[in-house]
A and B are shown apart, each in its own frame.
Chain A
Amino acid sequence: MQIKIYLSSFSFDILAEYRKMFKDAEINILLSYGTTSSDYYSMIEKNRGMINSLILDSGAFSLNNIEGSNGKPISIDGFIAYCKTFQERFDFIFNFDEDFHLDGFEKNYKNQKKIEAAGIKVVPVVHDYIEEEVAELDEYLKSYDLISLGFSKHKSDKQKLATAVHKIKQANKKVHLLGVSAYNRLKNLPVDYSDSSNWAQGQIFGFMYYWNAKNTPNDPQLTLRFKDFEPKKTESKEYLDGSPYFGEIMEYLKNELGISYQNLYGQNATFYRQLVNTHYFVKLQDRVREAHIANGFDVLYP
């Protein structure tokens, strides 16, 4: 097995620039029906070749967490129409799992069947990892080769999450862990796919990511804040400016990406910060793969 980490809700300008810089990089992208963007067509049709693997999410997370998608309502009929148009461009598509509750299986399963009846193959999304209310994982294991673990109150419980992941792998099926990209969470879990919007969120919330294994090997994912934007969500208290690793981070940015301190704070700060984070997550994919090999997952789950 070789994990793929999908960068979610990606933008074309970052894709084009990153691809120019790293011709052979493995860039995997998750687009969401719930997030409207004027450059989706560029990625789905015109420049599909720039992307290694492309997958589609139904936008159920947006439906449950924000008011619609840029004012566009999210409905299963709309999602089906979208899938019918572009399904062959995506490697896989997630179910319209609109009910995130532990007992949401019935509604989500009906949606799954409705989408399938329209001729679209979709990956089921599990919300009850441990049969607390519904044995949905067992049900899906009977008929699907790829199962995703979505939002759940079980997700933050490492033990419950690991139980679900191992159950899927032991059944010789593949697993996608939705919305998780922390190295320390992924390295010990034999997941085949995961995704993260942190490449962009990191920028929105004013963070950049740096692989700090040399200095803090047990906690190598360093998140640093920028001084010009104070995020509401404080993932990190440490600023880039003032970090004990400031010098080596600047050196890394210059050598790997040709990005300077001025770029990070200049006119196109957003663009450069997104490039920095994109690079981090593309590299993270390799790092998690290495950890999975070290854990013997490639042998256990070939």
Chain B
Amino acid sequence: MTIDLGYINQFGIDVAGNVQNIETLASSIISSMTIPAEAKCIDSIYLDFEIIGKKAIETRTYNWARLGELLFNLQDRYNKDPSINRVKVSWTKFAAENFTNFGKKRREQAVNLYNYGKELEKYYFLGIDELLYVFNLLMGKHRKDKEGLKKTAEMFEFSFNSPVDTDEDRRIFREKVDKICAYEKDFAEVKKTGADNELYYRCVSVGCVVNKKVISHIGSLASQAEKDAYMKESIANRDFKISNNESTTEYAQASPGLLCKLLDNTSGYRTKGLNEVKHLGLDIVTQAIRELVWLRKELRNM
């Protein structure tokens, strides 16, 4: 089979040898090749892609998708081959025996990535783990609800097809991805509480973070007006806040620290000859003495 590596050329990295290896190995994959030989061939291609990816991280997502394509075709061939007893030798077992470099988790991720379609080159900076997390969250959830996906994307002004060329574009794209993930993660639970969709979107947009307590609190509010008011309050304060009357903390109105401060300061005036005693004011000192006399009496009685 042929493999298009034109995308890699634009980065001007010295990987001509690896590109050539991949192209040669890929073109050797023909129908007459045995399935184990094809697996070994892909395992070698994986090593060359690793070198390319290390030299230019921008190529990684694309590389993963190409490996996914090769693996997908191999697995398809494996599943359709009538000579293989798949009960005796499952794909899992076959793969474990024939891939020494290309690990199980990465193989699965590469196939998943490939299955999400092409045009993934621009999203290299997310890394395969995060990219798949986003895809799984969005497309997994909206597989049967294309309108829902469209609506969410519109709400966040988000598109996987928007150009992401500069560092600034990447920062913005990443922020949007984070926001969408935060929104989608708890969407179903929040919706069940009766919270308004648009206000929930705004809460997420301004940085409010949902948790179980918040969901349960919204659910406990009786009317829609109360729910809306709570969401608006959260937007204004950019945080979900739940008043907890059970554990109110009472703050001490006096502390030994203040007395120690007084001792430190007074000692400073006395021993270091600081010329500032007059600014304390006689009336305040007199009052302080009165309070201290009372305090001494109280402590002696204890």
Contacts and interface: CB of A to CB of B under 8 A. Distances in A.
A177 B287 CA distance: 47
Interface residues of A, number: 28
Contacts of B207: 36, 72-73, 78
A33 B207 CA distance: 11
B241 A38 contact: yes
A144 interface: no
A171 to B, nearest CB: 33
A45 B235 CA distance: 12
A37 B202 CA distance: 17
A85 to B, nearest CB: 5
B170 interface: no
Interface string A248-265: 000000000000011000
Nearest to A85: B235
B156 A246 contact: no
A33 B236 CA distance: 9
B237 interface: yes
Interface centre among B176, B236, B284 (most CB of A within 10 A): B236
B276 A41 contact: no
Contacts of B235: 81-82, 85-86
B206 A44 contact: no
Contacts of A38: 237, 239, 241
Interface string B163-195: 000000000100110010000000000000000
A81 B200 CA distance: 10
B236 A261 contact: no
B202 A82 contact: yes
Contacts of A86: 232, 235-236
Given A40-B236, A44-B236, A85 B253 contact: no
A81 B279 contact: no
Contacts of A77: 156-157, 175-176, 179, 205
Given A41-B232, A77-B156, A77-B176, A36 B239 contact: yes
B226 interface: no
B14 interface: no
Nearest to A265: B284
A242 interface: yes
Contact of A81 (B175, B206, B281): B206
B238 A72 contact: yes
Interface in A32-89: 33, 36-41, 44-45, 69, 72-73, 75, 77-78, 80-82, 84-86
Contacts of A84: 202
A73 B284 contact: no
Nearest to B255: A267
B97 interface: no
A75 B156 CA distance: 12
A241 interface: yes
B205 A81 contact: yes
A41 B279 contact: no
A72 B236 CA distance: 13
B76 to A, nearest CB: 41
B237 A41 contact: yes
Nearest to B179: A77
Given A40-B237, A81-B235, A85-B202, A73 B175 contact: yes
B236 A45 contact: yes
A25 B236 CA distance: 25
Central interface residue in A36, A41, A261, by most chain B CB within 10 Å? A41
Given A72-B206, A241-B279, A242-B276, 13 more contacts: A33-B206, A36-B237, A39-B237, A40-B237, A41-B236, A45-B236, A77-B179, A78-B205, A81-B235, A82-B202, A85-B232, A262-B284, A262-B287
Interface of A: 33, 36-41, 44-45, 69, 72-73, 75, 77-78, 80-82, 84-86, 227, 241-242, 246, 261-262, 267
5 contacts: A45-B233, A77-B175, A81-B206, A81-B235, A86-B236
Which 6 pairs from chain A and chain B are nearest by CB?
Answer: A81-B205, A41-B236, A241-B279, A81-B202, A72-B207, A41-B233
